[in-house]
Each structure stands twice: as C-alpha cells, then as structure tokens.
Amino acid sequence: MRHRNFRKFNSSRRKYTDLEFSPEVAEALKTRKPVVALESTIISHGMPYPQNFETALAVESIVREHGSTPATIAILNGKINVGLSPSNLEKLAKMGPQARKTSRRDLALVLSQGMTGATTVAGTMLIAHMAGIKVFVTGGVGGVHRDGEKTMDVSADLTELGRTPVAVVCAGVKSILDIEKTLEYLETQGVTVTTFGETNDFPGFFTSKSGFKSPSNLSTALDCAKLIRKSKHSNTIHGLNSGILIAVPIPECEAAESERTQKAIEQSLKEAT
C-alpha cells in the first residue's frame, strides 16, 4: 500500500513537519491506538541479510501481538518514513551498511541529498517525537565509551535522551561501554532512569546485571506507564522535556555469563589498543 503524506502540525515548535506515515501507523495515531517506534540501524548495521529482515518482521509481529502498532522509522530516498511496508523493510535489509547511519547530526544531510538512512536511537527518538509517538523500543542504547574522559567519545543517544521527551525501553547499555560513566552522564542530562523488575542492578545488554546500581526500579508495566504519563503531563512539573530510559534485563536463561563476558571484552580492548 502507498504511504500517505501527512502535514503534521507540531505545536511545540510552531511549525509544520512533513512525514510519510504508513497507512497502519496513520490509522493508529488518528484513532489514538498505542504505537511503538522501532529503529532501523539495527536492521542495516546490526546483522546480515536475511537474518536482519527476519528479525525486523519478528519484532514488529511481537509488538502487534501485544496490542500495539509498530512504527519502524527510516529515511528512504530523502523522505522520513514512519512505518515501513514489508517490501521497504526488505530493501533496507538488503542495503545493509550502504544505508547511511543517521543520527541527529546526519538528518539534514541525508534528507537534502535524497539519501537512504537508517536511524540510530537518537535519530529515531527525534523523529518519533515529531510524529507524536511516546514510546520507542530498542536493543541497547549507546553510552560513554571506555576512556571516554580522554577521547570524549560519548554517544549522541545520551544527549538526545536529555532533550527529547520519548520513553526508551531497552535491554540496558551495551556491555562494551563504560556503564558507570554512562549512568553518571545520564544523571547530568536529567534523564529519568529505571530498571524494570525486582532488581536494583542496571542491566548490561548481554547480561541481566552490570554490577552497577540502577537509580530506581519499577516492578510493573502500570508503574512504568504512570512514570511516562507523569513526566509528560504532570501539572506539578509542567512536563519534562527530557526522555526516560526504562531498562528491561535480558532473561537469565538467555543471558551471557557476566564474568566470562567481561573477560572477553577486556581482552578485546587490549588487542584493539
């Protein structure tokens, strides 16, 4: 089906934003049904074809099974697409790394040059907010790289979380990063961070525990929904313009062994240096 071109009024910025919505996402937003944003860099850069395409379809299917509408976000030939058809998902999957990895920094370039771009966490957050989508689900978010205090290598995901009011549900920060410094940086950015479930340990993507304490934990989905609503609509705080990071630990039965993973990372870092 053809995408519908919508000119959506963004009252917070008092200007118009052109986005192309898939019919499914457009209908869900119009009828106020729950919509979940999904990134596309994990498709283009996360794994090879056809596993990336199969995974993208599987993730969208899981979202639908739980009563929400998936909105995979990407830029196709210089146009922002909110929701992709199966054929466009496959085109992006086949392109792989030839698609431009698109963060906030890259958006103007990719759009102006008519390129195809796969959105990162930061890029997806920004576009989801423009589209009026409040929840975004991904794998692991970026963070402060090891020795980041020397290299200043800090993911744009963290600054985006500090200025874009979207709730990001993830499996934590990627294990190869400096999780302790990442949590400190998120605090500096004013980002609400919580871990889902009966644990105070912040997850490390491959592992359910990183060894670093989470700022808070919420044990039910309802509590998480209350957090999102209060952050955006509270009359007391007049709405926070920062994002929320909800970390959901990988199930223990699927998690990597923490000590073994840490040793492998340390060895790899030594070899890379």
pLDDT digits (tens, 9 = 90+) for 203-225: 999 999 998 999 999 999 999 99
46-97 confidence digits (pLDDT tens):
999 999 999 999 999 999 999 999 999 999 999 999 999 999 999 999 999 9
pTM: 0.90
With beta carbons less than 8 A apart as the criterion, state whether 243 and 165 touch: yes
What is the chain's mean pLDDT, rounded? Answer: 91
Instruction: Give the pLDDT score at 83.
Output: 98
Whole-angstrom distance, CA of residue 245 vs CA of residue 191: 7
102-152 confidence digits (pLDDT tens):
999 999 999 999 999 999 999 999 999 999 999 999 999 999 999 999 999
Whole-angstrom distance, CA of residue 218 vs CA of residue 209: 16
Instruction: Give the pLDDT score at 15.
Output: 42
pLDDT band at 13 (very low <50, low <70, confident <90, very high): very low
Strand partners, 247: 170, 195
Whole-angstrom distance, CA of residue 271 vs CA of residue 251: 30
Is residue 213 flagged as an active site residue?
no
Instruction: Give the pLDDT score at 9.
Output: 39
Residue 13 carries which side chain, given as an amino acid letter? R
Which domains can be identified in the chain, with CATH numbers?
A: 4-272 (3.40.1790.10)
Q: Which two tokens stand for residue 196?
A: 């889902």
227-262 confidence digits (pLDDT tens):
999 987 654 556 678 999 999 999 989 998 888 888
Please identify which of the residues 20, 39, 60, 90 carries the catalytic annotation. 39
Strands 69-76 and 35-38: parallel
Residue 257 carries which side chain, given as an amino acid letter? E
List, as one string, the DSSP characters of 130-177. Answer: HHT--EEE-S-B--BPTTHHHH--B-HHHHHHHHS--EEEESBB-TTS
145-182 confidence digits (pLDDT tens):
999 999 999 999 999 999 999 999 999 998 889 999 99
Is residue 91 flagged as an active site residue?
no
Please, what sign has the CA dihedral across residues 241, 242, 243, 245?
Answer: negative
Instruction: Give the pLDDT score at 221.
Output: 95
- Angle (nearest 5°) at CA 125 between 74 and 186: 140
Please identify which of the residues 24, 60, 134, 174 carries the catalytic annotation. 174
